[in-house]
């Protein structure tokens, strides 16, 4: 059976598909959040050095990973939009930005809460922390730039450029702890594996999957409203049962 993927690159068909997928992603995200937090805060043992304080890692690390990956995905969609001039790509990029910004903010916020008791400082201007802050500003810049241009197609093109240029920052965040002396410790999850206790690994992995599912659910919900807003003058929107009634 050959699936015609291009069919779903049209807002008309994607709108319906997204609507069907959202409940599944949202529900599984909710379940995994509960399971992940339970393992992380109850099952996983305390850390030898940091005691109970390290447990914020189960929120901190997944949100940091998400903030970086979502940026790359957003920049990817933005590039697709520029290259192929597809409407949906740009809408997806716009839909991802607020969720990415949220995760970048959570990453910085939980990092500060973790840094104060462990390092002795809420914030230091080391390369890891600073580049993650720049990531948050890139997200906010993308949102602001897109909102400041009235014509949506022009807004798409301008903000796509910003997103693509900003993607250079993502590898800098990841490798910052390797390239320079930082207060932030090295990566626990490396490409080559991890050095973590099994229950800690499980909690981290489940939380990561839960964050992904949540991100997909909210991005799909957001892109649906963007589609409705942008295509409001079309016939197919006017014929939607939820619009007609």
Task: Tell me which residues touch another protein (CB under 8 A).
Answer: 45-50, 54, 57, 79, 82-85, 117-121, 124-127, 164-165, 167-168, 172, 179-183, 185-188, 192-201
Cα 184 versus chain centre, distance: 21
User: How many CA atoms, within 13 angstroms, populate the side-chain half-sphere of residue 66?
Assistant: 32
Could you tell me if 40 and 58 are in contact, meaning their C-beta atoms sit under 8 angstroms apart?
yes
Instruction: Let me know how long the chain is.
Output: 245
Instruction: Work out how close the CB of 68 gets to another protein at its nearest, in angstroms, rounded to a whole number.
Output: 16
Q: How far apart are CA 66 and CA 72, in angstroms?
A: 10
For residue 190, list its beta bridge partners: 193
User: Of the two residues 90 and 220, which places its CB atom closer to another protein in the complex?
Assistant: 90
Which of 108, 158, 113 minimizes the C-alpha distance to 131?
Answer: 108
Instruction: Find the angle CA(157)-CA(20)-CA(208) to the nearest 5 degrees.
Output: 70
User: Of the two residues 99 and 131, which places its CB atom closer to another protein in the complex?
Assistant: 131
Instruction: Work out how close the CB of 162 gets to another protein at its nearest, in angstroms, rounded to a whole number.
Output: 12
Query: Would you give the DSSP letter of residue 112?
Result: H
User: Of the two residues 144 and 165, which places its CB atom closer to another protein in the complex?
Assistant: 165
Could you tell me if 96 and 122 are in contact, meaning their C-beta atoms sit under 8 angstroms apart?
no
User: Of the two residues 30 and 145, which places its CB atom closer to another protein in the complex?
Assistant: 145
User: Of the two residues 70 and 82, which places its CB atom closer to another protein in the complex?
Assistant: 82
Instruction: Work out how close the CB of 28 gets to another protein at its nearest, in angstroms, rounded to a whole number.
Output: 26
SS3 of 228, please?
helix
Instruction: Work out how close the CB of 211 gets to another protein at its nearest, in angstroms, rounded to a whole number.
Output: 19
Q: How far apart are CA 114 and CA 208, in angstroms?
A: 19
Token digits for 138?
A: 């890139």
Q: How far apart are CA 22 and CA 20, in angstroms?
A: 6
User: Of the two residues 11 and 40, which places its CB atom closer to another protein in the complex?
Assistant: 40
Instruction: Work out how close the CB of 12 gets to another protein at its nearest, in angstroms, rounded to a whole number.
Output: 22
User: Of the two residues 104 and 204, which places its CB atom closer to another protein in the complex?
Assistant: 204
Instruction: Work out how close the CB of 224 gets to another protein at its nearest, in angstroms, rounded to a whole number.
Output: 27
Instruction: Work out how close the CB of 6 gets to another protein at its nearest, in angstroms, rounded to a whole number.
Output: 14
Could you tell me if 191 and 99 are in contact, meaning their C-beta atoms sit under 8 angstroms apart?
no
């Amino acid at each position: 059976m050959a699936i015609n993927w291009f069919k779903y690159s049209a807002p008309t068909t994607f709108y319906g598909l997204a609507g069907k997928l959202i409940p599944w992603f949202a529900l599984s995200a909710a379940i995994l959040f509960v399971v992940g937090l339970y393992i992380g805060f109850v099952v996983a043992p305390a850390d030898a050095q940091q005691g109970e304080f390290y447990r914020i890692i189960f929120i901190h690390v997944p949100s940091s990973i998400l903030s970086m990956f979502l940026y790359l995905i957003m920049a990817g969609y933005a590039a697709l939009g520029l290259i192929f001039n597809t409407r949906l790509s740009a809408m997806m990029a716009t839909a991802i930005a607020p969720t990415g910004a949220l995760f970048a903010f959570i990453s910085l916020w939980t990092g500060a809460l973790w840094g104060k008791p462990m390092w002795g400082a809420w914030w230091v201007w080391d390369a890891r922390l600073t580049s993650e802050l720049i990531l948050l500003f890139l997200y906010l810049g993308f949102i602001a730039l897109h909102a400041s241009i009235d014509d949506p197609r022009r807004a798409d093109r301008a903000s796509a450029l910003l997103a693509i240029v900003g993607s250079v920052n993502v590898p800098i965040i990841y490798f910052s702890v390797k390239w320079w002396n930082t207060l932030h410790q090295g990566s626990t999850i490396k490409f080559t594996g991890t050095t973590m206790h099994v229950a800690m690994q499980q909690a981290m992995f489940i939380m990561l999957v839960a964050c992904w599912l949540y991100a997909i659910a909210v991005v799909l919900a957001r892109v649906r409203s963007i589609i409705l807003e942008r295509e409001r003058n079309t016939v197919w929107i006017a014929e939607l049962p939820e619009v007609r009634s």
